């Protein structure tokens, strides 16, 4: 498969819109928010406006083969030598333009107020989390700054295996996936491609602890029969990272994960809440519990107000475009 210019096409998944190695896909919550049918739990937890959020990745390649991943592992070849890397400005341009193309059809939808559609055409958030491992993009710190220069907040999700890259990255909020609290569970659940991945993840926890200007989140996908044990060990890792927030979310039986796991691997929300509460017993400073049952997600925090400060409705961040609430 190749691009129009005859060069190699780095993203081959037909479900994604892509420009070279930059890929984007419309989140279901973005569509819902445009129609006034609810917002993502990240709005409830952190203040992210779903209709103005780009879901993208600068690289559809990964160095892990998580059993719960909904992506097709066959499409995540880890060889990077053939990638022709675009510069950060080109990736940011592509991300915004791909988002506009993906949402363009909503401009004629009677269920979408015109002002809301116009706002969606000017995104204010980017979730660098669609697919792959974003730290494999060699210019990730500069890409984050490029988005910030455009007044777009950044929410980076990483598996924590590229410690040196994460040390250089200062997004608005940094999520590191901790999907196992011991080496044996890590090997069976995450199935990393590199022998030192577990050690790198532990080193990354120390990097998170040194982050002063970046909000940090430890996030875990809970899979029954795989990694829902020893909450005190998870708590110890969160404590080591000095994480601002701890997110526990249920595995969902969708996509290619259905070929690796059965439906019984999905915990219900009460099980997610119970596991999170048990972790909280070992994290006394994180005594605030928030949850969104529809998303099967629970969060531990130190303070009740968990929104990104600049995303508060009174913030200057929103002054230029009179954010519509409905």
Residues 6+ away with beta carbon under 8 Å from 309: 315
Q: Is the pLDDT of residue 6 over 70?
A: no
* 44-66 CB burial, b ≥16 within 10 A, e <16: bbbbbbbbbbbbbbbbbbbbbbb
Distance CA 166, CA 95 (A): 21
- Is 28 or 322 the better-scoring residue by pLDDT? 28
For the stretch 194-233, pLDDT in tens is 999 999 999 999 999 999 999 999 999 999 999 999 999 9
d(CA 272, CA 299): 10
Out of 12-26, 29-43, 164-178, least confident range: 12-26
Q: Which pLDDT does position 255 carry in this prediction?
A: 86
> Average pLDDT, stretch 302-318?
95
For residue range 14-27, what is the model confidence (pLDDT) as tens digits? 468 888 889 999 88
Geometric angle at alpha carbon 150, from 146 and 155, rounded to 5° = 65
**What is each CA distance from 23 to 53, 102, 172, in whole angstroms?**
14, 11, 21
Position 2 scores a pLDDT of: 36
Of 221, 132, 210, residue with least CA distance to 181: 221
pTM reported for the whole predicted model: 0.92
| pLDDT for position 4 | 38
**Residue 8: is its pLDDT beyond 70?**
no
pLDDT at 277 over 70: yes
Q: Which helix (H) or strand (E) holds 166?
A: helix 163-168
What are 36-83's pLDDT values in tens digits? Answer: 999 999 999 999 999 999 999 999 889 999 999 988 777 656 666 777
Q: Which of 196, 122, 109, 184 is nearest to 160 (CA)?
A: 196
Confidence of residue 5 (pLDDT cuts 50, 70, 90): very low
Confidence check: pLDDT of 184 > 50: yes
CB–CB of 92/150 below 8 Å? Answer: yes
């Amino acid at each position: 498969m190749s691009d129009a210019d005859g060069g190699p096409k780095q993203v081959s998944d037909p479900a994604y819109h892509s420009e070279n190695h930059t890929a984007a896909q419309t989140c279901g919550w973005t569509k819902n928010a445009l129609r006034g049918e609810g917002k993502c739990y990240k709005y409830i937890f952190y203040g992210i406006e779903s209709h103005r959020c780009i879901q993208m990745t600068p690289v559809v390649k990964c160095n892990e083969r998580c059993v719960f991943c909904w992506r097709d592992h066959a499409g995540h070849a880890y060889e990077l030598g053939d990638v022709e890397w675009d510069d950060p400005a080109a990736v940011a341009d592509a991300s915004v333009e791909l988002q506009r193309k993906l949402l363009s059809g909503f401009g004629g939808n009677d269920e979408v107020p015109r002002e809301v559609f116009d706002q969606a055409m000017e995104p204010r958030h980017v979730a660098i989390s669609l697919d792959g491992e974003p730290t494999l993009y060699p210019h990730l710190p500069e890409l984050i700054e490029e988005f910030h220069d455009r007044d777009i907040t950044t929410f980076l999700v990483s598996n924590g295996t590229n410690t040196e890259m994460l040390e250089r990255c200062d997004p608005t909020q940094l999520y590191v996936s901790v999907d196992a609290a011991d080496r044996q569970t890590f090997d069976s659940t995450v199935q990393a491609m590199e022998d030192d991945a577990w050690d790198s993840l532990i080193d990354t926890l120390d990097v998170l602890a040194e982050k002063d200007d970046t909000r940090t989140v430890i996030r875990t996908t809970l899979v029954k029969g795989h990694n829902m044990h020893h909450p005190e060990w998870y708590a110890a890792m969160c404590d080591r990272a000095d994480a601002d927030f701890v997110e526990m979310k249920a595995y969902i039986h969708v996509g290619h994960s259905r070929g690796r796991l059965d439906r019984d691997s999905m915990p219900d929300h009460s099980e997610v809440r119970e596991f999170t509460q048990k972790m909280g017993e070992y994290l006394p400073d994180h005594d605030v519990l928030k949850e969104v049952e529809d998303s099967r997600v629970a969060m531990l925090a130190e303070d009740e107000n968990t929104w990104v400060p600049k995303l508060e409705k009174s913030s200057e961040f929103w002054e230029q475009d009179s954010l519509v609430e409905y």
